[in-house]
Amino acid sequence: MRDGFVKVAVATPELKVADCIFNMEQIKTKSLELAKAGARLILFPEFSLTGYTCQDLFLQDSLVEGALDALMKLAKETADLASVLLVGLPLEHRSRLYNVAAVVNRGKVLGLVAKSHLPNYGEFYEARQFAPWRGENSLHRLPNGQEVALGNKLIFQDQAMEEFSFAIEICEDLWVPAPPSADHAMAGAMIIANPSASDELTGKAYYRRDLVKNQSARTLSAYLYADAGEGESTQDMVFGGHNMIAENGILLAESKPFAGDKDLVTELDLKRLKNERRRMSTFDLGEKEGYAYISFDTGALEETLLSRKFEKTPFVPSSKSHRDERCDEILTIQAAGLAKRLKHTGCKSAVIGLSGGLDSTLALLVTVRAFDSLGLDRRGIECVTMPCFGTTNRTYDNAVALSRELGCNLREIKIEAAVRQHFEDIGHDIEVQDITYENGQARERTQILMDLANKTGGMVIGTGDMSELALGWATYNGDHMSMYGVNCSIPKTLVRYLVQYYAYTCSNSALQAVLEDVLDTPVSPELLPPKEGEISQRTEDIVGPYELHDFFLYYLLRCGFGPEKIFRLALYTFEGDYDKKTIYKWLDVFCRRFFSQQFKRSCLPDGPKVGTVSVSPRGDLRMPSDASNRLWREALDRIAGDLD
């Protein structure tokens, strides 16, 4: 459970209606298997000890007493397991019958959670046999004399890990307008477990899936859903065992209805959920009146082997259809932001430094879209190419072709003479190709763009992306500065997909060919002279692969993870792509530059936020420019010590 990961399981074992001993044996077998696989919490369906479809047999003493005896036997025969088991049964309490989920751990029944809302419509008639739980928690005496909590406001917490806490709502409780899980989450439950019996009807699985995902998102929780399966009676209903595990709106695992294997095992990242709740000030956490908090013991903290998938590019949707939809939405947000700024300032001209690289290409595409939305003539977009010492024919030709195919105005301004004069003015030897040599060119270009904007009554459109800003890979008061930065919250890995999307959705084949060549061009600031006509300065050779840096950036800012957890996830996710020392090297670079370069981000120009992460000093990242990185440095040193 190190780093907040807890392995959990949802299972629908074989079942015989009203055969409590058979069902208990199946649950025990499943529990042993899943516990051996590392599951610390194992959820079984509603009425898993009896079957959901017993109907009026629930009113028979033999079944009610048999289910309770099976529960006590299950607790005794799983006493050696550290895992927590959640099983369903009918329970008589003070002459009323309740639909409950029992929580079992290390040979004991820790609590009994009663269903709050009983369906009494269509094919469901639970209210005929059972009473809904109303009022405060109570105590129930088990056959062995033990008194345990009974009610619908129980939260169970692990002794060794504060974040490992769960509450239970049962089937129909999820389908009502105000599910109990909302209160459970606000009272501190990080996991919601739902033992359920939901029959299959046409289209119902889609609705059920949306309910689970949405409730996990609304409650900032992990949601475990165990559904009754084919062992139930088919007299009036058919059950398919539609099991699910969701985390904050994301479906981590699912067994489709009527699938063969219904066991789900995956890991929950409970520390991430805790961080999400910490960020949301409207999430009123704390111990709530009427709730009982019950501890359980699953053993000491240990490393949980990971099996769930983490995307290499967390800013980019993995599904192509979803990615296309997202790309169109992002381009629209960028263009809408720029259009508002142009309209507000009365500008009918935009000035873009067009290098022929990815970032400036995306900025131009967004600007074209903004102009089109305002009905402005694209000739008002001033594309400025400013060749100097490092410019290659390939990027120059692409810049020219882009402006031509998009119908914009192209202006070429050679800056070599001006830069040479500037070096002479400040006494810099042009043969010394250092940071002064590089930044002198970048600042000369920005000066030209700003002055042209004044001359044309226009606005300089920024081209730098979020990955560059996170690393401080921008010349202060050079490409760092603009009048509106349309790419400021677009990470480098996403820039590529946005340009790619534009390429294959446009109807201009010539434009498509240019965009494809831009996509094939190495990322470079082109500030050093080319070698044999080819780009000599490759950004990723200097600061590291952007797919790693964007991965680091996402988990640092979006999730609040420290270097050790980020390193662990990167090792797992990029296994076979990068070795340990390479990942450590670039994580070290990322952390060092992220802290040291904050001063560049503290004075960024305006620009539109398009996702859940941005580095704007006015929004997501309000960070002091002089913050110490000592704690992060110490974590990196611990990682380095383990590499030796």
347 flagged as catalytic = no
115 flagged as catalytic = yes
Tokens of 150: 């009974």
Q: Are 607 and 469 in contact (CB under 8 A)?
A: no
Tokens of 345: 């300032």
Residue with tokens 């102009």: 371
* CA distances for 227 relative to 199, 206, 260, 590, angstroms: 9, 14, 14, 45
Q: Rounded to whole angstroms, how far apart are CA atoms 422 and 392?
A: 22
- In the set 20, 54, 171, 488, the catalytic residue is 171
Residues in the chain, overall count: 644
- In the set 7, 28, 115, 153, the catalytic residue is 115
Q: Are 461 and 350 in contact (CB under 8 A)?
A: yes
* Residue 459 CB coordination number (10 Å): 21
Kindly state the helix (H) or strand (E) to which residue 191 belongs, with its residue range: strand 191-195
Strand partners for 43: 10, 86
Within 346-434, residue ranges assigned H as helices are 358-374, 393-405, 416-426
Q: Rounded to whole angstroms, how far apart are CA atoms 161 and 190?
A: 12
Residue environment code for 515-543, b if the CB has 16+ CB neighbours within 10 A, otherwise e: bebbeebbbbbbbbebeeeebbbebbeeb
- In the set 28, 30, 46, 492, the catalytic residue is 46
Kindly state the helix (H) or strand (E) to which residue 567 belongs, with its residue range: helix 563-573
What residue type is assigned to position 475 of the chain?
T
Q: Rounded to whole angstroms, how far apart are CA atoms 477 and 446?
A: 8
Rg (CA), the chain: 30
576 CB-near residues (< 8 Å, 6+ apart): none
Residue environment code for 372-404, b if the CB has 16+ CB neighbours within 10 A, otherwise e: eeeebeeebbbbbbbbbbbbbebbbebbbbbbe
Residue with tokens 């959670």: 113
**177 — phi, psi (to 5°)?**
-60, -35
591 flagged as catalytic = no
Q: Rounded to whole angstroms, how far apart are CA atoms 45 and 10?
A: 8
Q: Rounded to whole angstroms, how far apart are CA atoms 177 and 584?
A: 48
Residues designated as active site: 46, 115, 171
